Copies of this chain bind each other. A is one copy, B any other.
C-alpha cells in the first residue's frame, strides 16, 4: 500500500470503516481532487461504475457516504428536489444555487451586520447562507 492511499484510508478508519477495496476507491474518488466536489449518491455511483467492469453495489455507496458524513468528512445539504447532496468541503461556507447547480462561497465572502439571538436554552451551531441566482434579464 503506497503512501498516497494513506489519507483516504485514514478517513475511512476514522469513520469506523475497514478499508476494503471498494471503500478505498470511493474515498479516493471523492477526496483525491483539487476542487470541492458536490454530488448525489446516484451521481457518484454512476460516474464510478461507468469505468469499472466489476461494479460497486448501490448499498456500498450509501453505506460509505453515510459513514463519511457521520464522521464529518462530508457535509450534507438539500435542494428542493428530495435528493441528498454531499459536499467534500466540510469547512463552514455558503452556496450559490443556480438551477440545481451549486457553487461554493468561501466563508469570508459573507459577513453579518446583525444576527438574531438563539432561543432560550439553545445556541447557534452554524449559520449558512444560500444565494439563489437567476439569469440576467
Q: Name A's B-contacting residues (CB within 8 A).
A: 76-80, 82-84, 96, 98, 103, 105, 109-116, 118-119, 121-136
B83–A80 touching, CB < 8 Å: no
A121–B136 touching, CB < 8 Å: yes
Partner of A98, one of B76, B122, B131: B122
Nearest chain B CB to A18's CB is how many angstroms away?
A: 27
Residues of the B chain whose Cβ atoms lie less than 8 Å from the Cβ of A98: 119, 122
Compute how far the CA of A116 lies from the CA of B123 in the bound complex, rounded to whole angstroms: 27
A82–B83 touching, CB < 8 Å: yes
Known contacts A82-B83, A128-B130, A130-B128: does B123 contact A136 (CB below 8 Å)? Answer: yes
Known contacts A127-B131, A132-B124, A134-B122: does B111 contact A114 (CB below 8 Å)? Answer: yes
